[in-house]
């Protein structure tokens, strides 16, 4: 049983001992796509959704996946069986292949599969996050889950330096998403979230929260909202695989939300019930 496991094209071992070829296009170009999912009770939560999104990202970047979704699922579960039980972050990426540096695609080179598994301690879902705002200077393909994450890294670092948990991206007045999460608001009993266009990642947790809204009867609106609406929201909800849906309590040092805790509690309970049900042994 390993604590942290690394896998590369069929080879696997303790993560810190694993190495990859210098010519993997991940290094030169970030030429790849990825997914991150949570395993609980030995079950990878929402794995079908993650595989579907990976296939969609691959399609947009014309990366040829040489596995079926079933084969990839089997590899992930095989690796998961080799690490200590407990909540695990299952991270995997597919890169375009290994070749001398040249921008255009290499010919006849198969894609590479990387997997890392590490134990994860989930945060307290009642803890309110502290956020900062950062201008969204990313490219116009934020719906593709690519390895090109420099603006996200810079924004996450600014949050860390400010003693905060996440950065909220905005393009001018319009709020898009966060450095590594989606963001939504509750206002007058409605759940409002950016539409899934090219400006945000179509988060699986975001989609699950929309389902949970339907389940508990909270009306939803998939439309853009502004920084002013964010600051004036009844609640601000940040969502990602590792966090689930959690509330923010502060943005740029100003208190936010706190006016619809009961509505959010119903939503969070519905989300958590689905999570527990789908990851039951
Ligand atoms: N981050 N937006 C961005 C830019 C993200 O990187 C993520 C996920 C999300 C939320 O998506 P989901 O609910 O499917 O996890 C939104 C993952 C966890 C990461 O990069 O580690």
- Report pLDDT digits (tens) over 81-109: 999 999 999 999 999 999 999 999 999 99
Query: Quick one: 140 and 265 in the same domain?
Result: yes
The preferred substitution site among 180, 184, 206, 243 for testing ligand 1, maximizing ligand atoms within 8 Å of CB, is 180
CA–CA dist 65, 73 (Å, integer): 13
49-80: pLDDT as tens digits: 999 999 999 999 999 999 999 999 999 999 99
CA–CA dist 258, 235 (Å, integer): 6
Query: Quick one: 66 and 168 in the same domain?
Result: no
**Minimum-distance ligand 1 atom for the alpha carbon of 142:** 4
Query: Quick one: 76 and 171 in the same domain?
Result: no
27-49: pLDDT as tens digits: 999 999 999 999 999 999 999 99
Structurally, the chain folds into a number of domains equal to 2
Query: Quick one: 143 and 223 in the same domain?
Result: yes
Q: Is residue 252 part of a domain?
A: yes
Query: Quick one: 34 and 166 in the same domain?
Result: no
**Minimum-distance ligand 1 atom for the alpha carbon of 204:** 14
Any residues with Cβ below 6 Å from ligand 1, and which? 36, 152, 177, 180-182, 201, 203-206, 239-242
Nearest to 113, CA basis, from 89, 96, 138: 96
Burial group, residue 93, by CB count within 10 angstroms (0-12, 13-18, 19+):
buried
Nearest to 206, CA basis, from 41, 46, 39: 46
Q: Is residue 124 part of a domain?
A: no
Q: pTM (2 decimals)?
A: 0.98
Distance 233 CA to ligand 1 centre (A): 22
Domain that holds residue 22: 5-119
222-277: pLDDT as tens digits: 999 999 999 999 999 999 999 999 999 999 999 999 999 999 999 999 999 999 99
Exactly one of 3, 145, 187, 281 is catalytic; name it: 145
Query: Quick one: 135 and 268 in the same domain?
Result: yes
Q: Is residue 40 part of a domain?
A: yes
Report the pLDDT value the prediction gives residue 144, as an integer from 0 to 100.
98
Q: Whose CA is nearest to atom 2 of ligand 1?
A: 181
Q: pLDDT averaged over the chain?
A: 98
Local confidence band at 167 (pLDDT 50, 70, 90 cut-offs): very high
Nearest to 175, CA basis, from 244, 243, 248, 241: 248
Query: Quick one: 64 and 180 in the same domain?
Result: no
Distances, alpha carbon 162 to alpha carbons 38, 109, 132, 243, in Å: 28, 44, 8, 20
Query: Quick one: 28 and 109 in the same domain?
Result: yes
Query: Quick one: 225 and 272 in the same domain?
Result: yes
Query: Quick one: 133 and 106 in the same domain?
Result: no
Query: Quick one: 201 and 71 in the same domain?
Result: no
User: Which domain-ending residue is among 85, 119, 153?
Assistant: 119
Distance 164 CA to ligand 1 centre (A): 17
- For the segment 153-157, the average pLDDT, to the nearest whole number, is 98
Burial group, residue 90, by CB count within 10 angstroms (0-12, 13-18, 19+):
buried
Q: What CATH code is carried by the domain that includes residue 184?
A: 3.20.10.10
Q: What CATH code is carried by the domain that includes residue 90?
A: 3.30.470.10
Distance 180 CA to ligand 1 centre (A): 5
Distance 95 CA to ligand 1 centre (A): 18
Query: Quick one: 102 and 172 in the same domain?
Result: no
Report the pLDDT value the prediction gives residue 281, as an integer from 0 to 100.
83
User: Which domain-ending residue is among 119, 146, 167?
Assistant: 119
User: Which domain-ending residue is among 119, 142, 177?
Assistant: 119
145 among known catalytic residues: yes
């Amino acid at each position: 049983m390993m604590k942290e496991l690394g896998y590369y094209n069929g080879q696997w071992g303790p993560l810190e001992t694993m190495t990859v070829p210098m010519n993997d296009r991940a290094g030169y170009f970030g030429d790849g796509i990825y997914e991150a999912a949570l395993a609980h009770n030995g079950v990878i939560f929402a794995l079908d959704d993650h595989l579907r999104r990976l296939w969609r990202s691959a399609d947009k970047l014309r990366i040829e996946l040489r596995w079926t979704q079933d084969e990839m699922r089997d590899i992930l579960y095989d690796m998961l069986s080799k690490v200590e039980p407990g909540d695990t972050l299952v991270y995997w990426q597919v890169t375009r292949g290994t070749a001398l540096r040249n921008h255009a695609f290499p010919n006849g080179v198969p894609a590479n599969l990387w997997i890392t598994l590490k134990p994860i301690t989930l945060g307290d879902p009642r803890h309110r996050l502290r956020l900062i705002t950062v201008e969204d200077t990313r490219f116009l393909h934020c719906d593709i889950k690519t390895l090109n994450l420099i603006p996200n890294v810079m924004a996450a670092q600014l949050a860390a330096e400010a003693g905060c948990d996440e950065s909220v991206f905005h393009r001018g007045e319009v709020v898009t998403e966060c450095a590594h999460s989606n963001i939504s608001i509750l206002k007058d009993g409605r759940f409002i979230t950016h539409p899934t266009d090219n400006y945000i990642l179509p988060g699986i947790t975001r989609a699950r929260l929309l389902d949970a809204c339907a389940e508990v009867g909270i009306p939803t609106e998939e439309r853009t909202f502004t920084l002013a609406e964010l600051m004036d929201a009844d609640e601000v909800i940040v969502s990602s695989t590792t966090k689930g849906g959690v509330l923010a309590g502060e943005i740029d040092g100003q208190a936010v939300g706190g006016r619809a805790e009961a509505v959010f509690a119903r939503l969070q309970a519905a989300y958590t019930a689905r999570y527990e049900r789908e990851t039951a042994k």
